[in-house]
């Protein structure tokens, strides 16, 4: 089918929603960063006695790479960005040879490659930004390297938007995706009635309990935070916000997405963050700050129970204040929107494939 014969609203059917593309690229970048940090931690683990994984030390090691990365990041950006521009030009200019099915497959491959290039460079960007914040790299380099890094992200999203199937294959894919979304919705845990109250309740409870544990267990822990209650509360509140935010985000993605990559990525992200907090708690214990270590362990246990306890067996009054119920509410909201979008897309594709735009070059459309 000649795209010039297709009205504007149908022409957009060949592009994925930008919000979903942004989310997928962001998740891919975060998973790549987590895998790099875990790899560094595994390499460093043999230097400890006894061997152990310390995620916080691994992140510091990643930041220490910043000065060397800053010396070579320019040529990496100079290679990746022209390649992504070339991918975009091939797609926009319709320069990919072959029939509709093969060109759609090529677009998908180019989109995946553009996302992979961005994700592989993301840990280097994080390392350089961290080094600039520590003063080991000139902050002025951020003005040079961050704009092209953002451009890479934008180009990857634009190329990935065209990672769609074509014609009847696109219709079949939409029907399959709609059915997968409906099946996923049927197995989502029973949700909380509200999201924000559940999150705030967990933040408040875990902060109070954590601070109480730290204040009770040993003076060494008080000294580690300056023996100041406001500083202690702030430190625990920040730690709780980060852990709960990542946990709810991971559970939301795991329940709202149907593809295996998103599910594995979400589970990996949550597992790595829990491992990082556990490693920090063990570090505090080994350095004598027993109260801080115990407080972080309490934070992990509370968050894990609140997030991963199956909500189907809980009364509604309890479910309303669990992180699992809050993430389920977010997942259902996302699934309902996605189902509505796919059903609208199916109707438009059916109208397009059976409409007056068919021609002899596309007898099946």
Does the residue 158 lie in any domain?
yes
Whether residue 157 is found in the same domain as residue 275: no
**Contact at 8 Å (CB) between 164 and 16?**
yes
pTM over 0.85: no
pLDDT tens per residue, range 121-139 = 999 999 999 888 888 888 8
Whether residue 10 is found in the same domain as residue 132: yes
Cβ neighbours of 351 (radius 10 Å): 11
Whether residue 206 is found in the same domain as residue 261: yes
Whether residue 123 is found in the same domain as residue 241: no
Buried b (16+ CB within 10 A) or exposed e, 25-54: bebbbbbbbbebbbebbeebeeeeeeebbb
Does the residue 332 lie in any domain?
no
Whether residue 59 is found in the same domain as residue 135: yes
Whether residue 242 is found in the same domain as residue 277: yes
- Distance (Å, whole) CA 290 – CA 330: 37
Whether residue 7 is found in the same domain as residue 130: yes
pLDDT, position 180? 84
Does the residue 187 lie in any domain?
no
Look up residue 178 and give its two tokens.
Answer: 């709609």
Whether residue 111 is found in the same domain as residue 208: no
- Distance (Å, whole) CA 156 – CA 173: 22
Whether residue 142 is found in the same domain as residue 272: no
263 burial via Cβ count (<10 Å: 0-12, 13-18, 19+): middle
Cβ neighbours of 14 (radius 10 Å): 19
pLDDT, position 121? 92
Does the residue 335 lie in any domain?
no
Does the residue 336 lie in any domain?
no
Does the residue 138 lie in any domain?
yes
Averaged pLDDT in 10-residue chunks for the chain of 365 residues: 38 61 85 84 65 66 88 88 87 69 74 88 91 87 89 88 65 78 81 86 86 68 53 78 88 82 82 83 71 83 88 81 88 86 80 57 41
**Contact at 8 Å (CB) between 273 and 346?**
no
Look up residue 80 and give its two tokens.
Answer: 């990746």
Q: For the chain, what is the domain count?
A: 2
Q: What is the DSSP letter of 257?
A: -
Range of the domain at 76: 3-169
Whether residue 35 is found in the same domain as residue 123: yes
Residue with tokens 């000065």: 67
pLDDT, position 225? 47
Closest-CA residue to 36 (of 119, 93, 112, 110): 119
Could you tell me how far CA 82 lies from the centroid of its own chain? 26
Whether residue 18 is found in the same domain as residue 164: yes
- Distance (Å, whole) CA 282 – CA 106: 48
Whether residue 117 is found in the same domain as residue 239: no
């Amino acid at each position: 089918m000649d795209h010039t014969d297709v009205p504007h609203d149908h022409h957009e059917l060949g592009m994925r929603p930008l919000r979903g593309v942004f989310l997928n690229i962001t998740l891919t970048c975060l998973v790549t960063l987590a895998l790099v940090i875990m790899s560094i931690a595994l390499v460093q683990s043999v230097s400890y006695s006894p061997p152990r994984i310390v995620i916080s030390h691994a992140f510091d090691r990643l930041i220490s790479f910043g000065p060397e990365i800053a010396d070579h990041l320019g040529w990496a950006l100079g290679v990746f960005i022209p390649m992504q521009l070339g991918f975009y030009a091939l797609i926009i200019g319709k320069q990919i040879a072959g029939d509709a099915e093969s060109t759609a497959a090529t677009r998908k491959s180019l989109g995946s490659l553009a996302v992979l290039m961005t994700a592989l460079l993301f840990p280097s960007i994080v390392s350089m930004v961290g080094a600039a914040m520590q003063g080991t790299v000139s902050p002025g380099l951020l003005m040079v390297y961050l704009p092209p890094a953002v451009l890479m992200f934008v180009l990857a999203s634009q190329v990935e938007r065209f990672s769609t199937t074509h014609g009847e294959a696109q219709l079949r894919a939409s029907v399959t995706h709609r059915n997968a979304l409906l099946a996923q919705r049927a197995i989502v845990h029973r949700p909380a009635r509200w999201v924000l109250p559940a999150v705030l309740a967990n933040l408040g409870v875990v902060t109070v309990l954590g601070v109480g544990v730290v204040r009770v267990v040993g003076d060494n822990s008080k000294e580690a935070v300056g023996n100041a209650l406001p500083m202690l509360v702030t430190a625990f509140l920040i730690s709780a916000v980060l852990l709960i935010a990542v946990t709810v985000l991971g559970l939301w993605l795991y329940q709202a997405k149907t593809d295996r990559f998103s599910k594995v990525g979400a589970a990996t992200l949550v597992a790595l963050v829990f491992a990082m907090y556990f490693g920090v708690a063990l570090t505090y214990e080994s350095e004598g700050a027993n109260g801080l270590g115990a407080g972080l362990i309490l934070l992990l246990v509370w968050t894990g129970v609140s997030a991963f306890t199956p909500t189907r067996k809980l009364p509604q009054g309890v479910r309303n204040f669990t992180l699992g119920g809050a993430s389920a509410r977010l997942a259902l909201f996302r699934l309902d929107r996605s189902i509505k979008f796919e059903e609208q897309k199916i109707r438009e594709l059916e109208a397009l494939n059976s409409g007056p735009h068919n021609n002899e070059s596309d007898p099946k459309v």
